[in-house]
Amino acid sequence: MEKILLPDIKNLHLIDVYVSNGGYNAAKKAFTQTPDDIIDQVKKSGLRGRGGAAFLCGLKWSFMPKTTDKPKYLCINGDESEPGSFKDRQIFEFNPHQMIEGAIITCYAIGAKTAYVYIRGEYHKWIKLLQKAIDDAYANGFVGEKMKETFGTNFFCDIFIHKGAGAYICGEESSLMNSLEGKRGYPRVKPPFPAQNGLWGCPTTINNVETIANVPKIIEKGWEWFSNIGHPKHPGTLLFGVSGHVNKPGVYELPTGTLLTDIIYKYAGGVPNNKKVLCVIPGGTSMPPIRGDKLEGVRMDAESLKEVGSAIGTGGVIVMDEDTDLVKVLARIAHFYHHESCGQCTPCREGTGWLEKILKRIIAGKGSVSDLDLLITVANQIEGNTICALGEAAAWPVKFMVERFRDYFEQRVSKEISLPVANKVHSMRQTAVPLADVKN
Amino acid sequence: MEFKFTQENLNRIEQETKKYPVRKPAVMAALYIAQEQNGYISYEVMKEVATVLGITEEEVLGVVTFYTMYHQKPMGKYHIQVCTNVSCMLRGGYEIWNQIKEKLGLDHMAVSADQKFSLEEVECMGSCGTAPMIAINEDYYENLSKEKVEEILNGLSATLSKEEGV
Ligand SMILES: Cc1cc2nc3c(=O)[nH]c(=O)nc-3n(C[C@H](O)[C@H](O)[C@H](O)COP(=O)(O)O)c2cc1C
Ligand code: SF4
Ligand code: FES
pLDDT of residue A426: 45
The fold of A326-412 is de novo design (two linked rop proteins) (1.20.1440)
Q: Would you list the domain boundaries of chain B?
A: 7-66, 78-164
Checking if the pLDDT of A432 tops 80, the result is no
**What would the mean pLDDT of B53-74 be, rounded to a whole number?**
98
- Stretch(es) of chain A classified as CATH 3.40.50.11540: 15-228
pLDDT digits (tens, 9 = 90+) for A121-136: 999 999 999 999 999 9
Probe site for chain A from B15, B66, B99, B146 (most A CB atoms < 10 A): B66
A293-309, pLDDT tens digit by residue? 999 999 999 999 999 99
- Inter-chain touch B129–A86, beta carbons under 8 Å: yes
Residue A332 or residue B166, greater confidence: A332
Please name the residue of chain A whose CA is at the shortest distance from the CA of residue B18: A160
Contacts (Cβ under 8 Å, ≥6 apart) of A303: A231, A233, A234
State in Å, rounded, how far the first CA of chain B is from the last one.
29
Provide the pLDDT confidence category of residue A431 given band limits of 50, 70 and 90: very low
Q: Which run of H or E residues covers position A241?
A: strand A237-244
Rounded (10°) CA dihedral A329, A331, A332, A335: 160
Mutate to test the pocket of ligand 3, among B97, B133, B141 (most ligand atoms within 8 A of CB): B133
B7-66 domain in CATH 1.10.10? yes
Nearest residue of A to residue B68 by CA position?
A: A166
**A336 CA → ligand 1 middle, Å:** 17
Other Cβ atoms closer than 10 A to B2: 7
Q: What is the pTM of this model?
A: 0.95
Average pLDDT over residues B80-100: 98
Residue B120 pairs with which residues in a beta bridge? B81
Q: Cα separation of B100 and B80, whole Å?
A: 9
Report the C-alpha gap between A158 and A144 in whole angstroms: 5
Mean pLDDT across chain B, nearest whole number? 97
Q: Which residues pair with A56 in a beta bridge?
A: A48
Report the share of chain A in percent with pLDDT over 90: 92
Q: What pLDDT band is residue A1 in, cutting at 50, 70 and 90?
A: confident
Query: Is B7-66's fold the same as B78-164's?
Result: no
- CB of B88 within 6 A of ligand 3: the answer is yes
- Residue A232 exposure: Cα atoms within 13 Å on the Cβ side: 0
Cα separation, A400 vs A379, in Å, equals: 10
Helix (H, G, I), strand (E, B) or coil at A228: coil
Rounded to 10 degrees, the C-alpha dihedral B98/B99/B104/B105 comes to 40
Rounded-to-integer distance, Cα A353 and Cα A275, Å: 34
Closest-CA residue in chain B for A178? B25
Residue B32 touches partner A, C-beta closer than 8 Å: yes
For A15-228, the fitting CATH number among 3.40.50.10860, 2.40.110.10, 3.30.70.20, 3.40.50.11540 is: 3.40.50.11540
Q: Residue A414's pLDDT band (boundaries 50, 70, 90)?
A: confident
Q: What is the CATH number of domain A231-321?
A: 3.10.20.600
Q: Which of residues A218 and A421 earns the better pLDDT score?
A: A218
SS3 A70: coil
ipTM above 0.95, yes or no: yes
Atom of ligand 1 nearest to the CA of A209: 11
**Integer CA distances (angstroms), B25 to A77, A172, A179, B134, in order:** 17, 18, 8, 30
Give the per-residue pLDDT at A2.
84
Q: What is the pLDDT of residue A374?
A: 97
Q: Is any atom of ligand 3 closer than 6 Å to the C-beta of B89?
A: no
A13-41 pLDDT, tens digit each:
999 999 999 999 999 999 999 999 999 99
Between residues B136 and A422, which one has the greater pLDDT?
Answer: B136
pLDDT tens-digit profile of A152-202?
999 999 999 999 999 999 999 999 999 999 999 999 999 999 999 999 999
Query: Which residues in chain A touch residue B70, judged by CB atoms under 8 angstroms apart?
Result: 165
Residue ranges matching CATH 1.20.1440.230 in chain A: 326-412
DSSP state of A413: H
The string of pLDDT tens digits covering residues A327-350 is 999 999 999 999 999 999 999 999
Highest mean pLDDT among A169-173, A422-426, A430-434: A169-173
Does residue A251 surpass a pLDDT of 70?
yes
Query: Mind telling me how many Å the CA of B66 is from chain A's nearest CA?
Result: 6
Among B90, B96, B129, the residue with its CB nearest the CB of A250 is B129
CA dist B54 → A170, A182, B49, B58 (Å): 24, 13, 8, 12
CATH number of the domain located at residue range(s) B78-164 in this protein: 3.40.30.10
Query: For a substitution probing ligand 2, which of A178, A342, A356, A381 has the most ligand atoms within 8 Å of its CB?
Result: A342
Q: Is A206 in the pocket of ligand 1 (CB under 6 A)?
A: yes
pLDDT at residue A416 in the model: 53
Indicate if the pLDDT at residue A86 is higher than 90: yes
Angle at A68 between CA A67 and CA A72, to 5 degrees: 110
Q: How far is CA A23 from CA A5, A18, A160, in A?
A: 12, 5, 20
pLDDT for A180 equals 98
CA atoms within 13 A of residue B50's CA, in its CB half-sphere: 17
Contact B89 A435 (CB under 8 A): no
Residue A378 to residue A383: CA distance in whole angstroms: 9
